[in-house]
Structure 1
Amino acid sequence: MKRENLILLADAYKYAHHKLYYPGTTQIYSYLESRGGMFDNTVFFGLQYFLKEYLEGQAFTQQDVDEADAFLPQVFGRDDVFDRSKFQYIIDKYDGHLPVKIKAVAEGTAVPISNVLMTIENTDPECYWLPNFLETLLMQVWYPCTVATLSAETRKLIARYYQETATEGSEAGIDFALNDFGFRGVSSVEGAGIGGAAHLLSFSGSDNLAGSRLAMKYYDTQKVYGLSIPATEHSICTLLGREGELEIFRHVLRTFPTGTVACVSDSYNIFKACSDYWGTELHDEIMNRQGTLVIRPDSGDPIRTLLAIFEILFDKFGFTTNAKGYKVLPPQLRVIQGDGVNYDAINSIYEALKEHQISAENLVLGMGGALLQKVDRDTQRFALKCSSAVVNGQQIAVEKSPTEMDKNGNITPSFKKSKSGRLKLVKTDGTYRTVNEDTLPEVPDQLHTVFENGKLTDTLTFEQVKANLNDR
């Protein structure tokens, strides 16, 4: 299948930059960072996908140049903005392979905010305009980085509640404590794949097949990392109407008499479903199963609903009290909350369970839009900025240092101040920090060349990326 035309994957204003850079410019060196935001660390992930999908090998063809030459003059209404010779040069000299060098921290690494994550520079002085031309596409790495960060931070949050309330030895359940329900809520299939793979760095539960498929294709793994279970939806549970709900529930249990199966139970009255149907009519069948029924509420205030459901289930099915003093349902029964779930809600839900002496192991979660769609580039304040250039043979440290006005009318420095010079990322005493390239020569640079002149030079498997995240 033909690639997208890379020449047309940039913001329109960039096509004039080859003329606007000061005469004599021969190199542009830029870096990517997360300038801060929701979390203090950012997990770097997804660059390998973009390199393989868009930049590796022949990035564009003669046909692409011709297509751009017909399209872009219409965008600007003039013929002196787009210069096809710039791209023709790369076709003629490099057969469409991009003369740029990209260095990056190993994917899966969690790096404190305000540190360099990636650098890009041209390797041919004629292509000084190319590094920041590629900004539009490469900046999209903000998305998998942000989803990976959100999932990693959510795992840390859930793990804390497991440590405080759950039975010793139940920690394996954390892998399935947050499930990706986001495929239907994202804006594209590509987004589902990129974001879904990012989630799988921290969790195994996923109904988003695109995530596993992307990890397999672009991160050289044969393993399917996103795992799921049989589960109902409302079109199943409402098929016989209100009076037939019990019969549907019975059919679900008998269709999957072993293993884990989930059933949405709020089609009419979640509390009656838990008390009269699951807790009475089907009680013995549930308790005699070789497996677990996962009951799913899907409406109402999550905390009030969950607390009421657990009270009913403890009454109907009994519970044990673990060594930490928290109630645990029998292993044949668990609850999943998939409505109204986001990072803050997860904290509130588990805190409410803790306050009512309910172990975290009783509950798993599903997150959709809040996981894959309700994030943006400003969630972690991503930016790609030029920090060094060569102009008329002189190396120049480049930076922006804007000011802004606070609410009292005072002029103060902006958080958008950028770094200057050629950079490297070092790790000393277990801590990452950004320094200039010639600083601390005895300390190795954590940025490694991953792409040079059209070739990927340092690829990772999905297993290695997961290991990098778990090794912090």
Structure 2
Amino acid sequence: MRHLDNLILNTDSYKASHWLQYPPGTDATFFYVESRGGVYDRTLFFGLQAIIKEFLERPVTHADVDAAAALLAQHGEPFNEAGWRRIVDLHGGRMPLRIRAVPEGTVVPTHQALVTIESTDPDAFWLPSYLETLLLRLWYPVTVATISWHAKQTIRRYLEHTSDDPEGQLPFKLHDFGARGVSSLESAGLGGMAHLVNFLGTDTLAALLTARAYYDEPMAGYSIPAAEHSTITSWGREREVDAYRNMLHQFGKPGSLVAVVSDSYDIYTAIRDHWGSTLRQEVIDSGATLVVRPDSGDPVEVVHECLLLLDETFGSTVNRKGYKVLNHVRLIQGDGINPESIRLILERVVGAGFAADNIAFGMGGALLQHLNRDTQKFALKCSAARIDGEWVDVYKDPVTDPGKQSKRGRLMLAHNPSSGEFRTLAVPPGAASATDLALPDGFEDAMLTVWEDGQWGAQWRLAEVRERANAARL
């Protein structure tokens, strides 16, 4: 929405008054982003590059300052017009900030600094705080990528136990069905792209465009022809089998995949009578793999029963690990899917003697929408300020909630490649910079300067992010 592209107004109202609230003599501030815990004990870092490219690459102009001054005057907030004019005149409208972060795709335990933001102009010391609202929206792609990554670890575990080709199967085992259930096109693009760090299957076209725009990925994900209920039920119940036959005729080519929702009326009749009897030989002769999609009922029970029926009608082959792989057909379950139901379904499937090869999943709301900033308790906090030439620690320590205690000092993240350990460390108050610290033996700086005073320090292609994320294991 073009009327929302003014960076100065991409904040909370109360931020407009904060430049007046710091102690006299303040000329620098230092902030950091962390996950303070949450559902998962580690997060997959992703999405900062997209946010910077979308919002910080475009310089602020005097026209932006004019618009912000007028709106905030009407809104009832003071406005640092002189400070913003100075940024336009002295810095060409580019933000005098230094942003350091772990490389995107890195999996980091919670309670560690993931990003640091510091002012680089003494007269713009207030700027990191002003941009908190914008930068903390990083929580969304990180949380989606984290949910997707943990689901991937679950699926990988079952594939490694039951499949002859676990790594070949894995990239297409969790498909993004979430575009219609999110709050905006931006959410679909950013969240859908975060899922594609871990998998290659998606129906969210906005994710492809977002990956192309921000991470130099020409084609981030793939899909196949698939039926919806309207394309089946428009034939009428009495012609249900004709609807299925049409799908085979239109898309059933040798080596292809075709997905058909089959529970508009009775999934068990559809498998036993239509697919498994009337159309059985047509499925086989097509050379395609039919992917049957249940879409209602208890996912664990329905998937189990459907696999049994497909085995009865199409048969199966026992692989080298002793598990059944269906002939000519597969299942995709997209209703009621979340990280826990994935685990429960796979537990039942494997317990019944079927390889995880037989089932793929589609996840919508639970992937892109059933989450919020508190899913991983994300926070962006000030940890240091320079006042009268001296750096002082800044922190909160609420007696009513120890979990909200914040870190103090100018921070960096150190990593020991041998042990895999991460440590958030603070430099001494007299240090010249946040990286002026002798690291413990075996540790190295885990952060890079990604953005400084309007210039890129490091950028990533999606291929690099994926490689880094895929190498991480629980």
- TM range, normalised to the smaller chain? over 0.9
* Pair 1:88 & 2:85 matched: yes
**Residue of structure 1 aligned with 2:274, choices 261, 272, 277:** 277
Structure 2 equivalent of residue 396 of structure 1:
392
User: What is the identity, as a one-letter code, of the residue corresponding to 1:257?
Assistant: G
Tell me the C-alpha RMSD between the 2 structures.
Answer: 1.4
Partner of 1:449: 449
Q: Which residue, out of 114, 118, 123, partners 2:115?
A: 118
The one-letter amino acid paired with 1:189 is L
Query: How many correspondences in the alignment?
Result: 457
TM-score, with length taken from structure 2: 0.94
Q: Distance in 2 between matches of 1:169 and 1:297?
A: 25
Partners of 2:294 and 2:182 in 1: CA distance = 23
Partner of 2:240: 245
Structure-to-structure mapping, 1:328-367, within 5 angstroms: 328-330=325-327, 332-367=328-363
- 1:290 Cα shift? 1.7
Amino acid across the alignment from 1:395: W
Give the corresponding residue for 2:224.
229
| Unaligned segments of structure 2, at least 5 residues | 428-436
Output one character per residue of 1:63-102: Cα deviation in whole Å (capped at 9) or x when no partner: 11111111112222x6xx2221121111121121111111
- 1:180 equivalent among 176, 185, 189: 176
Q: Distance in 2 between matches of 1:260 and 1:453?
A: 49
Whole-angstrom CA distance in 2 between matches of 1:371 and 1:471: 22
| Counterpart mapping for 1:50-61 below 5 A | 50-58=51-59, 60-61=60-61
Q: Tell me by how many angstroms 1:377 deviates.
A: 0.6
CA contact (8 A) 2:382 2:395 kept: yes
Q: Where does residue 407 of structure 1 map in the other structure? A: none
- Counterparts of 1:424-443 in structure 2, within 5 Å, are 424-428=412-416, 429-437=419-427, 438-440=437-439, 443=443
Q: Secondary structure at the match of 1:350?
A: helix
Q: Is the 8 A contact 2:156 2:166 kept in 1?
A: no
Q: 1:161 aligned to 135, 158, 163, which one? A: 158
Residue 430 of structure 2: aligned partner: none
The reply on whether 1:147 has 2:144 as its aligned counterpart is: yes
CA distance in 1, matches of 2:166, 2:351: 20
State the 1:7 CA deviation.
Answer: 0.5
SS at match of 2:403: coil
Tell me by how many angstroms 1:326 deviates.
2.2
**1:321 CA drift (Å):** 2.4
2:160–2:166 contact (8 Å) kept in structure 1 = no
**Amino acid in the other structure paired with 1:435:** L
C-alpha separation in 1, matches of 2:83 and 2:116: 22
Matching residue's letter, 1:389: A
Counterpart for residue 468 of structure 1: 468
Q: Residue deviations 1:119-174, cap 9 Å, x none?
A: 001100100110011000000011000111111111000011112222x1253111
**Separation in 1 of the partners of 2:200 and 2:156?**
15
Where do 1:27-66 residues align within 5 Å? Answer: 27-58=28-59, 60-66=60-66
For residues 395-433 of structure 1, the C-alpha deviation after alignment (integer angstroms, 9 at most, x for no partner) is 1011111222xxxxxxxx611111111111111222111
Any unmatched runs of 5+ in structure 1?
405-412
CA distance in 1, matches of 2:217, 2:230: 36
Report the 3-state secondary structure (helix = DSSP H, G, I; strand = E; otherwise coil) of the residue aligned with 1:403.
coil
Instruction: Name the structure 1 match of 2:74.
Output: 74
Give CA-to-partner distance per residue, 1:338-365, whole Å, 9 cap, x none.
Answer: 0010111111111111222222111000
Q: Which of 302, 305, 309 is equivalent to 1:308?
A: 305
Q: Give the residue type in structure 1 aligned to 2:102.
A: V
1:293 aligns with 2:290: yes
One-letter amino acid of the structure 1 residue matched with residue 15 of structure 2: K
How big is each residue's C-alpha offset from its partner over 1:231-282, in whole Å with a ceiling of 9 and x where there is no partner? 1111110112100110111111011131110001011111100000000000
Aligned 8 A contact 1:231 1:262 in 2: yes
**Percent sequence identity over matched residues?**
46
Distance between the aligned counterparts of 1:310 and 1:110, measured in 2?
35
The one-letter amino acid paired with 2:258 is V
Distance across 1 between alignment mates of 2:230 and 2:176: 21
Q: Following TM superposition, where does structure 1 have runs of at least 4 consecutive aligned residues deviating by more than 4 angstroms?
A: none
**TM-superposed deviation, 1:221:** 2.6
Deviation for aligned residue 1:324:
3.0
Cα shift at 1:439: 4.5
The equivalent of 2:409 in structure 1 is 421
Separation in 1 of the partners of 2:341 and 2:123?
Answer: 52
Instruction: Specify the alignment match of 2:13 in structure 1.
Output: 12
TM-score by length of 1: 0.94
Measure the CA separation in 2 of the matches of 1:468 and 1:307.
Answer: 35
User: Is 2:379 aligned against 1:383?
Assistant: yes
3-state SS, counterpart of residue 445 of structure 2: coil
* Structure 2 letter corresponding to 1:64: D
Aligned to 1:135, which of 118, 132, 135? Answer: 132
What is residue 216 of structure 1 aligned with on the other side?
A: 212
CA contact (8 A) 1:57 1:454 kept: no
Larger mean CA deviation between 135-144 and 423-432 belongs to 423-432
